[in-house]
Structure 1
């Protein structure tokens, strides 16, 4: 995780203890039911469509085997791993309905803020349909408009309680104007375009999706395919420089760790406003300013973001504090070790840029000094341990106020 300000949580925790109104939800009905086959095996099968992209809506259809159960309990995650804040994703879910294979309606009862119970009537499989409002551009949230879709798993997919280890598949029906679907998920064995498979709910949530007409820049390191995918306002970006510099970051980190831990990797990049990144198993989702391609200092910041999120492919995604997995997606997951998970990553992100020859030693020392000075200012560093600061990230870091930096 890399946050919107230059001094990241991790470096602050490692060095010293860290001391627009919500979008309007539109009430809509789910699309009409259509008959489906109940012989799809054990996998939970999702189809996403975008008939009203201009209204920022995602239409979701899920074909769910019942396993013979009289009821299926559906849930939506309330947070995204790597970003320690309960975001209440279910607030953007509308029109949850269920039918049998013949299209006949089934009873759906909402039982909590993020759970629904479907009466299966003894059917082998049911179809659940709902819509998701997507107008929050970020690395943890969803955004859809006529030009682009940025999708994260946690705020998109209703899943079935107790089926986390079951395969999940995703079929994406793209508008005619969109040409590409980019994700770290494996292609479905049927070979159909924009059809993907995940071995589990964890893998589904850990694989963001970028749709539209991005620039795709492939390269290899140690024989492993990588893609730098850039969507949004790219007019000021030097694509040759971008792919060469990102490749150099990967090469340096592969040398540092002694190899690569994945068999493919994507840098999913949206050039718009703001800055942030979130690590995933075989990819990262990056949000960066459209202006970064035009300014050397801004470009160094972007490379620092790339370096930070890639480093997480080892530190956190493969080597992690014991508390960070397996995840409970419906409530906070506490750990006193974010200062390791984020702190070590924040230490190495710029340092490895120096070793890669992408910034100078003077650049590095300037950036490090700035980060240390920012961490020295809050008096809370004298009274809050790094462990407690890690534990309280859920309530303090993303909701900082004037008291956050001073109170014990």
Structure 2
């Protein structure tokens, strides 16, 4: 049997509204507001609990170390970690904000994943994203690799690669620009890589916002994963979608099994795209199902504002599908109408489930941003790091941990506070014990808590 595991990022204690993500409209519009790290983490855990209730296998990825003091030490600041944090904050609060961002909670950007049934060597492959487009996210790749190697340590079943070179040629944003279409999760599938520009052809012609994913990065990931041309497709996202605020493809498109659910503005030539998907799907034994939102009924602006397409499209134990949507999608009239039409219409989607994820949404991340999808056989699941697989009792323990260590209010000015540094380290140190991860953080390896 093959399971689709949803690995959600546990929101970190420094969750704040720094507004640093160019092209992310929600992030920019909420810059400087007071955040609630405790509320954000509890909302995320509540979503994980709901998926367990629906009969799915749910796992968790721990937060990365923030503020990331090892990075600040490399910028010429000297002394103890407290000295460095205070000096860096005095020099530039924005600099500290970059090194204290909790953006790693969005594990859709942690890596691109190919299941063993797709790869040449029959292993599950992971390539951590370099996230080179945004400074605050570009520090995530090495820590993501460390965590993935802990969760998927058995090299007989898993292959965790290094991130691609962090430069403008190989800009890689992970699974947020990757879709997989298949008959079932157990069957060989068509891996669809979506990119925004061709770096070697100087094709960056987006008027307002940068296109983060490059074709060259997507091609390199496919090579590392041992994918073949017949079951791989590279598709360019439209400039219109990027300029509207779809900085990742998962803001305007989501796939599950044979279903591709997308806004008509996501891609330029929909007829050609659907034709090539049908031709590539035929040898794989499935007929793709295209569910398209037309702009006249569901304007792209409403799609971006509601984050409808950043839903989790999941297969339930009964074989039907459900949409896990942010509450914002229920409150937007056009979004709610399209969700109702999907459920009532001739699609495999039988229900829409709305969840309060406002803390994440205000920073521009919905349900799909918060999870990394991994297809595992029974044997592969047994070889995964078992403490990361969630149950109700494990979520209960994590909720207690969050309530013990997380602040209920955090302003951007708090990021330079040494007390916050010590609070986050105490929290992460206890978390590694709860999850039996060992010393994965730099401060643990250095024995530094102040």
TM-score (structure 1 length as normaliser): 0.30
The higher radius of gyration belongs to 1
Larger relative CO (CA 8 A, sep 6+): 1 or 2? Answer: 2
TM-score norm. by structure 2 comes to 0.28
Structure holding more helix per residue: 2
